[in-house]
C-alpha cells in the first residue's frame, strides 16, 4: 500500500515537472505530450513495473523532462506576435481619455495633450480609420452630450459630467479593445 503511494508520488512529481517544463509549448502539443507520457507510465505499470525502484527505472529511461520538452520544441518556429498596443498607443489612449479633464486645470494643456493624443492615434497602424474617428470624436461627443442634457433637460451639472464621463470611458475603452496588431507576412 505505502509502496503504491510512493510510486504514485514519484510519477506525480515527474509529470508535474514535465508540465512545468512544457508550459512554453503550444497548448495542443503540451497536452498531447503529457497524455502520451501518462499513457506510457500507465502502460509500464500495467506491465508489471510497480515497485518504487521499477518506477524509478521507468522514469529514468524516459529521460529528464527538460530533454523531452527540448525534443518537442525542436523545429518549432516561434512566431513573434507584435503587441496589440505599444507604449505609444497607450500614451495615445491615455491622453484622449485624460486630456478633457485637464480643461479645468489649464485649457492650453488640455488642448495640447489632446492634440498629441489625436496625432499619435492617426499615425498609429493599430486602428482602422473608423476607430480613429471614434477616438477623435470622443471628446466632442461627450461634451455635446453634457451640453444637451444641460440645455434641454436642465440636468444638474453632476449628471452632465457623469454622462460625459461614461461616454468618454466607454468609447476610449472600446478604442483600446479594438486595437489590432498588423498582420505579419509569414
Partner 1 sequence: MVAEKVFTQLRRGTLEFCVLALLQGEPRYGFELVKALGEVDGLVTTEGTIYPLLARLRREGLVETSWQESESGPPRRYYTSTPEGSRALAAFTADWQRFCTSVDKILQSGRRG
- DSSP 3-state percent helix, strand, coil across the chain (nearest 5): 75, 0, 25
How far apart are CB 36 and partner 1 at their closest, in Å?
4
**Is 29 near partner 1 (CB under 8 A)?**
yes
Nearer to partner 1, 22 or 167 (CB): 22
DSSP 149-161: HHHHH---HHHHH
Nearer to partner 1, 34 or 159 (CB): 34
Q: Is 105 helix (H, G, I), strand (E, B) or coil?
A: coil
Which residues, at least 6 apart from 144, have a Cβ–Cβ distance to it below 8 Å? none
How far apart are CB 55 and partner 1 at their closest, in Å?
14
# chain residues binding partner 1, by CB under 8 A: 25
32-91 residues in contact with partner 1 (CB under 8 A) are 32-33, 36-40, 42-47, 61-65, 67-68, 71-72, 74-75
Cβ atoms of 89 and 180 closer than 8 Å: no
How far apart are CB 122 and partner 1 at their closest, in Å?
43
Cβ atoms of 65 and 18 closer than 8 Å: yes
Nearer to partner 1, 79 or 129 (CB): 79
Cβ atoms of 7 and 52 closer than 8 Å: yes
Locate 167 and state its grid cell: 461616454
Nearer to partner 1, 60 or 183 (CB): 60
**Could you list the residues that contact partner 1 (CB under 8 A)?**
29, 32-33, 36-40, 42-47, 61-65, 67-68, 71-72, 74-75
Amino acid at each position: 500500500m505505502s509502496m503504491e503511494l510512493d510510486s504514485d508520488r514519484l510519477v506525480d512529481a515527474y509529470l508535474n515537472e514535465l508540465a512545468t517544463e512544457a508550459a512554453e509549448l503550444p497548448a495542443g502539443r503540451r497536452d498531447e505530450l503529457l497524455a502520451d507520457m501518462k499513457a506510457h507510465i500507465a502502460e509500464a505499470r500495467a506491465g508489471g513495473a510497480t515497485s518504487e525502484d521499477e518506477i524509478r527505472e521507468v522514469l529514468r529511461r524516459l529521460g529528464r523532462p527538460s530533454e523531452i520538452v527540448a525534443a518537442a520544441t525542436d523545429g518549432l518556429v516561434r512566431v513573434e506576435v507584435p503587441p496589440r498596443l505599444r507604449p505609444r498607443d497607450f500614451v495615445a489612449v491615455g491622453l484622449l481619455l485624460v486630456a478633457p479633464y485637464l480643461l479645468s486645470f489649464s485649457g492650453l494643456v488640455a488642448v495640447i495633450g489632446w492634440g498629441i493624443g489625436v496625432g499619435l492615434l492617426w499615425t498609429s497602424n493599430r486602428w482602422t480609420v473608423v476607430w480613429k474617428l471614434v477616438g477623435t470624436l470622443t471628446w466632442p461627443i461627450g461634451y455635446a452630450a453634457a451640453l444637451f442634457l444641460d440645455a434641454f433637460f436642465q440636468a444638474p451639472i453632476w449628471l452632465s459630467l457623469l454622462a460625459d464621463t461614461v461616454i468618454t470611458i466607454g468609447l476610449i475603452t472600446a478604442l483600446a479593445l479594438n486595437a489590432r496588431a498588423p498582420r505579419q507576412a509569414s
